[in-house]
Amino acid sequence: MQSMSDLLLLGIALSDFAALGTSRLSACIRAVAWQGLLLGLLPLFLEDPRSWHVITLAAGTIAVKAVLLPRLLRWAMREASVRREVEPVVGYMTSLLLGFVALGVSFAVAQRLPTLEHAGLLIPTALLGLITGLIVLVTRHKAVNQVAGYLILENGIFLFGLTQLRRVPFLLEVGVLLDVFVGVFIMGIVVFHINREFDSISSAQLSELRDQ
């Protein structure tokens, strides 16, 4: 069980790197979708797989994070007709290196955190997800990419939540899932409207907004 969950966490970390290193929006969305799938499978290997709590959480996570949200993002990408991020603030090579630094930092920090139940890869991967999400969110211009970064960030927070799986009420987790879904849904609509208004979804253009 332990090695299986380690393998899933490893996959999640690798998908973080994939999102950092790719210039194609569709590849970035695919990385986020894979991350959602692995994230959904993870509770099954961390806790007693037969409890309803865990099974519903896994099914809900996969449905929202691996199916619904990527589909929504693809829709937004198609509507805005963008394929790739042409000029990110920080180059792909540099962001990959930043991700590598983030990996080191998250492992170093995870060892210093006060005792948590799962000493394995869970905490470092969660931290890595947080930092990666932040990097993507800050360094990319295209709004679709920024939403993907937000999702990666949220996945990191979700991983943190898994350490407390037994103590957090089921309703709260489903509520968070729903919040994320609504959040990304609204972002998708906003992306669509930005595109219609400005003929581009580059958020750099938003700085030109001013009162009439």
Partner 1 sequence: MPVFFAPLVFLLLVLGTAPLMPGIASRTKSLLTGRRGAPVWQLYADLWRLAQRGAVYSTTTTWVFRAAPVALLTAVLAAAALVPFDGHRSLVSFSGDAVAFAYVLGFGRFALVLGALDTGSSFEGMGASREVTFATAVEFGLLLSFAALVIATGEMSLTGMLGEPLAMRWPAATTSLILVAIGLFALLLAECARVPVDDPSTHLELTMVHEVMVLDHSGPDLALIAYAGAVKFALFGAVAAAVALPRATWSPMASALGLLGGMFLCSMAVGIVESSMARLRMVKVPLYIAGSVALGGFGLILLLR
Residues that bind partner 1 (CB under 8 A): 3, 6-7, 10, 13-14, 17, 21, 92-93, 96-97, 99-100, 103-104, 107, 111, 121, 124
Burial (0-12, 13-18, 19+ Cβ within 10 Å), 36: buried
Q: Which residue, 72 or 131, has its beta carbon nearer to partner 1?
A: 131
- Residue 75, phi then psi, degrees to nearest 5: -60, -45
Q: Which residue, 6 or 79, has its beta carbon nearer to partner 1?
A: 6
CB of 122 to partner 1, least distance (A): 12
Give the HSE-up count for residue 172: Cα atoms under 13 Å, Cβ half-sphere: 9
CB of 7 to partner 1, least distance (A): 6
The Cα–Cα gap between 155 and 163 comes to 13
Q: Which residue, 111 or 164, has its beta carbon nearer to partner 1?
A: 111
3-state secondary structure of 140: coil
CB of 189 to partner 1, least distance (A): 33
Beta-ladder partners of 142: 202
Q: Which residue, 34 or 150, has its beta carbon nearer to partner 1?
A: 34
CB of 96 to partner 1, least distance (A): 5
Which residues have CB under 8 Å from 114's CB, separation 6+? none
